[in-house]
Amino acid sequence: MQKVLRIKPGRRVVASNGKGGVFLCETLAGKADGIELMAVEPLTVEPAPPRLNLVLSLLKGKDLEEPVEGLCQLNVRAIHLVTTDHTQEFKGQNHDRLVERLRGKSLVALKQAKKAWLTEVHGPLPLREWRTRFPRLPVVLLHPGKDQLPDRMEEDFAVLSGPEGGFSAAELAWLESEGCHRMGLGETRLRGTHAPLLACGKLMGLGWYC
């Protein structure tokens, strides 16, 4: 704000705290390395975080960065990275640096979209281990075929998107035994970079969230 936008004390700006509030703020005289803001009017107050979580299989290289950048502009509570039977991992791949970059994109998206809640990004876990941490969270599995969905999801839920090549037969059988719902995205085969964004668009059309 100070070095790029050259904002002077007294100008009003919109700021989010990333925890449910968007405020109209007035800039005050700050230190040499920053500007102090004073909230003068709440514009958005959302006490509860968004209900939607995205569970994304790791993709090769930087392929996750594009979909995460788009997803974080939506009302998404958290993005959980997981490894699956078909996940492609490369020697020397630095997951900590990947998560750091994705969290940076989430922060940029918060500002871009003027959201009330910052989308959290969680480091990768094996899919089954992730499930043990969230055993009661309803899961919607992205998989070709007919939808097997309730009319509406009124509670927190997660959408699970697989790797290039999809889930293994063993994983699909296990997910079915876990009672996961299913949602298809048409007859064509989609890349892992595009499926999560299309899924969110479909959920909006179904009226599950906005």
Task: Look at 187 and 128; give whichever has higher pLDDT.
Answer: 128
d(CA 181, CA 140): 5
Region 102-108 average pLDDT? 96
**Domain chopping of the chain, boundaries:** 12-45, 52-206
Residues forming a β-bridge with 154: none
**Average pLDDT along the chain:** 91
Q: Which pTM was predicted?
A: 0.90
Between 208 and 106, where is the model more confident?
106
pLDDT category of residue 34 using cuts at 50, 70 and 90: confident
For the cut 90, the answer to whether the pLDDT of residue 110 exceeds it is yes
Separation between Cα atoms, residue 108 and residue 116, nearest integer Å: 13
More confident residue, 117 or 62: 117
* Positive or negative torsion for Cα 99, 126, 202, 117: negative
How far is 142 from 140, CA to CA, in rounded Å? Answer: 7
Judged against a pLDDT cut of 90, whether residue 2 lies above it is answered with: no
| Lowest mean per-residue pLDDT among 26-40, 104-118, 151-165, 183-197 | 26-40
Cα torsion 73, 64, 206, 140: sign: negative
d(CA 203, CA 210) in angstroms, rounded, equals: 8
Pick the CATH number of 52-206 from 3.40.1280.10, 3.30.1360.20, 3.40.1410.10, 3.40.50.300: 3.40.1280.10
- Angle at alpha carbon of residue 110, lines to 15 and 180, rounded to 5°: 140
- What is 107-138 written as a DSSP string? HHHHHHHT-SBPPEEEEEEEHHHHHHHSTTS-
Per-residue model confidence as pLDDT tens digits over 51-64: 999 999 999 878 89
What is the reported pLDDT for 210?
Answer: 60
Q: What is the pLDDT of residue 94?
A: 81
